[in-house]
Amino acid sequence: MKALVAVKRVVDHNVQVHIKPDGSGVETAGVKMSINPFDEIAVEEALRLKERGVVTEIVAVTLGEAVAQDVLRHALAMGADRAVLVEAHGELQPLGVAKLLKAVVEREQPGLILLGKQAIDDDAGQAGQMLAALLGAAQGTFASAVTVQGDEVEVVREVDGGTETVALKLPAVLTADLRLNEPRFVKLPNLMMAKKKPIEQLTADGLGVDAAPRLKRLKVATPPHRAPGVKVNSVAELAQKLREAKVV
């Protein structure tokens, strides 16, 4: 069975983001970019399924400008077999992402499609569910354990108040939560080798997909800062402050 993993290039999670002076968006020029951490977990899960003999081939796909190839190289260095870049310009929103991925799924015919549960830039958390909808496929979101059994995949999902287990008909779309696995380290020689691997190039136009944004960003701003607090010197003082603030 083939696995398709969608990966996104995002501002690295350790970077303190800054808003562009004109308020039009977040500064990404000269900022460290990385594979979205949840997508890295999705790649890792595909690798583990391959190591268990469930998956035979892993195709990593990303969407966007040519620079997004970075994250495909990362996925290849982790162990993905092939990589596909769908070149698309301008802002991509979850619905457009789902439409582009659907076109790639139709070409590749994977049995499992894995994504991260959310991207840490726009925090939308929608692409997987939208893709499953457009494919008419089952969805296993916020996955913390994945087991393929026959023509079904059993998924333990992290939900409010605990976990839920569902069984999905294949092909299915899964989105990775934090505790699905811990991604392996990418070794430098693997990264060097991944640089030489070919990346298949497609375009949104070539796929006949309209991925135009539906939402218009009017502005971005920093949230209001909390007024600076005080340091207390003792537990007794803390208890007194909390009483004064009438919160205990």
Partner 1 sequence: MSVLILAEHDGQHLKQATRQAVTAAQAWGLPVHLLLLGADTAAVAGHAAQVAGVARVLRVDAPQFEHPLAEDVAAAIVNLARDYKVVLAGHTAFAKNALPRAAALLDVAMLADVIAITAPATYVRPVYAGNVLATVESSDPIQVLTVRTTAFAAAETGGAAEVVTLAAPAASGLSRWVGETRNVSDRPELATARVVISGGRSLGERFEEVLGPLAQLLNGALGATRAAVDAGFAPNDIQIGQTGTVVAPELYIAAGVSGAAQHLAGMKDSKVIVAINHDPDAAIFQVADYGLVADLFEAVPQLTAALKN
When CB distances are held under 5 to 8 angstroms depending on the partner's kind, the choice from ligand FAD, partner 1, none that residue 215 binds is partner 1
Q: Are 144 and 180 in contact (CB under 8 A)?
A: yes
Residue 61, SS3 per DSSP: strand
Q: Burial, 10: exposed, middle or buried (Cβ in 10 Å; 0-12, 13-18, 19+)?
A: buried
Measured distance CA(58)–CA(113) in Å, rounded: 10
Between 58 and 97, how does the x/- string for binding to partner 1 read (CB under 8 A)? Answer: -----------------------------------xxx--
Among ligand FAD, partner 1, none, partner that 123 touches (CB below 5 to 8 angstroms by kind): partner 1
Rounded to the nearest whole angstrom, what is the least distance from the CB of residue 190 to partner 1 in the complex?
25
**Applying CB under 8 A, does 145 fall inside the site for partner 1?**
no
Give the residue closest to ligand FAD by C-beta.
37
CA angle 163, 111, 88 (to 5 degrees): 95
Selection from ligand FAD, partner 1, none that 148 binds (CB < 5 to 8 A by kind) is: none
Between residues 120 and 212, which has the closer beta carbon with respect to ligand FAD? 120
Q: Is 159 in the site for partner 1 (CB under 8 A)?
A: yes
> Looking only at residues 101 through 120 of this chain, which bind partner 1 when binding is defined by CB under 8 A?
117-118, 120
CB 38 within 8 A of CB 176: yes
- Collect all residues with Cβ–Cβ distance below 8 Å to 150 and sequence separation of at least 6: none
